[in-house]
Amino acid sequence: MKNKGKIGYILSGVVLGVAITTTAPTLAATVSTITAKLQGDVKVTVDGKAVAAKPINYNNQNYLPVGDIGRALGASVKFDKAKNSIFVTGKEDASSGAGTSTSGGTNVSPVAPKTEGVPMVNQGEKVVTGGISRSIDKVEYTKEESEVDGVVLGKGISVYYTVSNNSSAPLAKIVPRFLFETSYDVATEELNAVGTSIYMTINGVDWRSQSLLPGETATGFVHYASTRDFVVNTIAPYANHSQDPRKYGIWKIQ
């Protein structure tokens, strides 16, 4: 099992309900060669949904990729290359703004946002509401596990997003929920229900769940893991208030 630049494996049966951080000590002291079996014929399901991940068997115990299983459970999984650490944030911590992720969990459908009077703009254009400027700058598709800006990402999409606070009050939640419309209905459903991993900076400094103060700008990307092939048509960021869900705008993706 390769160790370089990869999200590791977790023992099957682990429940992700809290924030977890694992840090690898010095490489020379921890890397060893093992013989394990990849069990390609074993099916894996999470909350009744099939997951593409395949377990490996080592010493009669099954291990699964922490990235695939964590995200299927609605958690955020982040490998920080600079710190040589894996950060896993469970659904409860994510929804409260802890760690580096936010936005719901698997099998939880968002409330349909209101659409009256919502501006429709092109990718890269800004929409300003209440002194808050937002833009979806681009969407990148990750076809296989790869490294982006020092972060190892699985297959899926990354939504690049910028928000500037030109109001007089702090903005508590810098990344809203995103409502997707894609070329594949099943993918649309999954993207609108699955948890996310957020990689943002505020004025060039890593975001750690703090509010966006007046005069500050946050930029970065939100990654959605998906094993499917599809094209994103539109994205609508919206405030996730159950009583008054409202879209900030609808961006047409090129």
If one counts the domains in the chain, the total is: 2
Last residue of a domain, one of 95, 128, 146: 95
Does residue 26 sit in the same domain as residue 142? no
Tell me, what amino acid is at 161?
A: Y
Does residue 140 sit in the same domain as residue 19? no
C-alpha closest to that of 241 among 176, 179, 184? 176
Does residue 60 sit in the same domain as residue 126? no
The answer to whether residue 115 is domain-embedded is no
Q: What is the pLDDT of residue 140?
A: 93
Does residue 203 sit in the same domain as residue 88? no
C-alpha closest to that of 68 among 167, 156, 133? 156
Assign residue 189 the CATH number of its domain: 2.60.40.1240
- Cβ atoms of 143 and 157 within 8 Å: the answer is no
Tokens representing residue 184 in the block: 């594949």
Does residue 84 sit in the same domain as residue 124? no
When pLDDT is cut at 50, 70 and 90, the band that residue 163 belongs to is very high
The answer to whether residue 67 is domain-embedded is yes
The answer to whether residue 128 is domain-embedded is yes
Does residue 125 sit in the same domain as residue 89? no
- Cβ atoms of 43 and 50 within 8 Å: the answer is yes
Does residue 231 sit in the same domain as residue 142? yes
Model confidence, pTM: 0.57
Q: What is the pLDDT of residue 39?
A: 79
- Cβ atoms of 134 and 171 within 8 Å: the answer is no
Tokens representing residue 17 in the block: 């309900």
Tokens representing residue 116 in the block: 């009256």
State the average pLDDT over residues 86-92. 65
Last residue of a domain, one of 48, 78, 95: 95
Q: What is the pLDDT of residue 128?
A: 94
The answer to whether residue 2 is domain-embedded is no
The answer to whether residue 175 is domain-embedded is yes
When pLDDT is cut at 50, 70 and 90, the band that residue 115 belongs to is low
Does residue 48 sit in the same domain as residue 143? no
When pLDDT is cut at 50, 70 and 90, the band that residue 67 belongs to is confident
Does residue 91 sit in the same domain as residue 130? no
The answer to whether residue 114 is domain-embedded is no
Residue 120: what are its φ and ψ, rounded to 5°? -110, 125
The answer to whether residue 113 is domain-embedded is no
Does residue 136 sit in the same domain as residue 240? yes
Most trustworthy range by pLDDT among 13-27, 116-130, 156-170, 190-204: 156-170
- Cβ atoms of 75 and 101 within 8 Å: the answer is yes
Domain that holds residue 19: 9-95
Does residue 135 sit in the same domain as residue 223? yes
Q: Which residue in this structure is represented by tokens 């593409």?
A: 52
Does residue 139 sit in the same domain as residue 91? no
Distance CA 45, CA 59 (A): 22
Compute the residue count for the chain. 254
For residue 254, count other CB atoms closer than 10 A to its CB.
9
- DSSP for residue 204: T
- Cβ atoms of 20 and 79 within 8 Å: the answer is no
**CA–centroid distance for 174 within its chain:** 14
3-class secondary structure, 244: coil
The answer to whether residue 174 is domain-embedded is yes
